[in-house]
Copies of this chain bind each other. A is one copy, B any other.
Amino acid sequence: MTSSHEGSATDAEAQAIVERNLCGLVNALSRQIEQHVRERAVALNLTAPQATALRELGGPLTMRELADRMACEPSNATFVIDRLEEQGLVERRPHPRDRRAKQLVLTPEGITLRERLLEILMEGSPMAGFTQEEQITLQHLLRRALS
């Protein structure tokens, strides 16, 4: 069951395999979460990253803040916001206190669409089956892994 084709299983190698499985699980779950978003977002004519961005835009954000929340590079946020702006869902305004930055603000259409999106995303989340205590321990462990 556990990669029997590997060489002799010293402690170090066994530990490496456990870590690999753990990473694989995190990765698989991440894909499943993205898939969940993608399946729901298509009903609103949004792609998964577009939906994620819209979800995070509960209040005004800079590009950098959005990129951090989406766990992606700023260049990628630029790409996604370009699409949302083309659809008239979000607006790039000059930042009031920093002329380098942009302030992302939802348009009225963006606000109503976001409300619908939040409702849709709530149904059948992959994390729904956990008790509150389990969610806390999981949150704690994940945060620690994030260095």
Contacts and interface: CB of A to CB of B under 8 A. Distances in A.
Q: How large is the interface on A (under 10, 10 to 19, 20 to 34, 35 or more residues)?
A: 35 or more
Query: By DSSP majority rule, is chain A's interface helix, strand, loop, or mixed?
Result: helix
A109 to B, nearest CB: 18
Given A71-B31, A125-B19, A5 B59 contact: yes
Given A3-B58, A27-B30, A71-B27, A145 B130 contact: yes
Contact of A5 (B22, B58, B69): B58
B141 A130 contact: yes
Contact of A137 (B5, B20, B141): B141
Given A18-B135, A141-B138, A147-B126, A23 B28 contact: no
Interface of A: 3, 5-6, 12, 16, 18-34, 55, 58-59, 69, 71-72, 118, 121-122, 125-130, 134-135, 137-139, 141-147
